[in-house]
Amino acid sequence: MDLSALASQLLVGLSRAMILFIVSAGLSFVLGVLRVPNVFHGSLYMIGAFVAFTIAAWAGEPALGLALAIAAAPLVVALVGLVVERTLLSHLYQREHLMLILFTFGVMLILNDVVKLVWGADYRSILPPAALQGMASAFGLALPRYNALLLGAGPVVAVAMWLFTHRTRVGTIARAAAVDREMVGVLGIDVSRVFALAFVVGCYLAGLGGALVAPTTSISLGMDHTIIIEAFLIVTIGGLGNIWGALVGSLLFGVTQSVGLLVWPQFAVVFPYLATVIVLLARPTGLLRSVW
């Protein structure tokens, strides 16, 4: 195994970490502001991928199709999130975590069957446009072009989330509500609307992750099961509600998995979980400060 192959493998791991980051940043944001551990976040990711498939297939032309899919699929997912939040979830904020987890699990069960009804149990895939197929190489490192695109997408989302939470009024209010929702309410701000917006932003990120991952994987029922566990673990080792923690956790996940692929391919998936266990034992409340 030569060094450049190792570095290329790491880069692929990093690009996968970017998907994990986008998804878990959404989960973390919802967990931080609303205190809701959203189990159907993974279903939203899956729906994002399926909607992206439908849009890309409808558009026909690959480049246009992919661009439309990545632009529109997350919005569809955000709409699903908005409907669930306004009709059901918004009535449950006073309940304890266990009830919220079970509620979101119930929504997950329903959404899974909705996906089965709409798209069926077949595997689907999106063909990336010619410009994004094949390998990109720089500094002697080879990387699939689409993965290079993903490497860029992660930081863009991170910066966008930072601008949203620190440079917009509503984002600042959302951060304040994460710390003390009663006080925010006392100041005369409609906390319920802030929650709805924060939830929709979280769902949007799940959909974005799903749309972005779609061209690299086979889109199928069950793709929500792995991502949601990984996202939850990432959020926990990063520090609940801390978006930068989600970034650190995702990088740890992606890197340990690609190292695992080199060391012991059959059990590569074990490595991120092992890393999680070690982090949780060493720093039980996560690597970065939790907002809880």
Partner 1 sequence: MTVPVRRPARASAGAAVALLAALALFPVVGPAFAVYVLALILVTGLLALSLNLVLGYGGLYQFHHAVFYGVGAYTLAVAVTRGGWPAWLGFLAGPLAAALAGLLIGWFCVRLTRLYFGMLQISLGSLLWIVVLRWYPVTGGDNGIHDIPLPAVLQSVVGAYYLILAVVALSAGVLYLIVRSPFGITLQAIRDNAQRCQTVGVDVRAHQIGAIVIAAFFAGTAGVLYVALERSVFPNLLFWVLSLEIFVMCLLGGWFTFAGPMLGAALMVALRTVIGRYTDLWTMFVGIILILLIFFMPEGVAGTALARLRARGAGAGGRG
* Long-range contacts of 89-92, Cβ-Cβ distance < 8 Å, separation of 24 or more: 89/36, 89/199, 90/192, 90/195, 90/196
Close Cβ partners of 241 (under 8 Å, ≥ 6 residues apart): 28, 29, 31, 32, 33, 178, 235, 290, 291, 292
- Min dist CB 42 to partner 1, Å, is 11
- Min dist CB 38 to partner 1, Å, is 13
Give the span between the Cα atoms of 202 and 11, in whole angstroms.
26
Q: Confirm or reject binding of residue 107 to partner 1 (CB under 8 A).
A: yes
Cβ contact 88:71 at 8 Å = no
Return the residues of window 261-280 that contact partner 1 according to CB under 8 A: 266-267, 269-270, 273-274, 276-277, 280
Binding residues for partner 1, rule CB under 8 A, total 41
Q: Which of 99, 118, 163, 179 binds partner 1 (CB under 8 A)?
A: 99
Give the span between the Cα atoms of 277 and 283, in whole angstroms.
10
Q: Confirm or reject binding of residue 37 to partner 1 (CB under 8 A).
A: yes
Q: Confirm or reject binding of residue 117 to partner 1 (CB under 8 A).
A: yes
- Can you give the C-alpha Rg of the chain in angstroms? 19
Residue bearing tokens 């551990």: 37
Q: Between 104 and 147, whose beta carbon lies closer to partner 1?
A: 104
Could you tell me which stretch among 58-66, 100-108, 171-179, 213-221 binds partner 1 (CB under 8 A)? 100-108
Return the residues of window 143-202 that contact partner 1 according to CB under 8 A: none
Report which residue type is found at 23. Answer: V
Return the residues of window 199-258 that contact partner 1 according to CB under 8 A: 225, 229, 232-233, 236, 240
Residue bearing tokens 């080199």: 262
Q: Confirm or reject binding of residue 105 to partner 1 (CB under 8 A).
A: yes
Token pair listed for 138: 């720089």
Report which DSSP code applies to 219: B
Tell me the CA end-to-end span of the chain in Å, nearest whole number: 44
Q: Which of 116, 155, 168, 179 binds partner 1 (CB under 8 A)?
A: 116
Could you tell me which stretch among 5-13, 52-60, 86-94, 148-156 binds partner 1 (CB under 8 A)? 86-94
Interface residues with partner 1 (CB under 8 A)?
Answer: 37, 39, 88, 91-92, 95, 97-99, 101-103, 105-110, 112-114, 116-117, 225, 229, 232-233, 236, 240, 266-267, 269-270, 273-274, 276-277, 280-281, 284-285
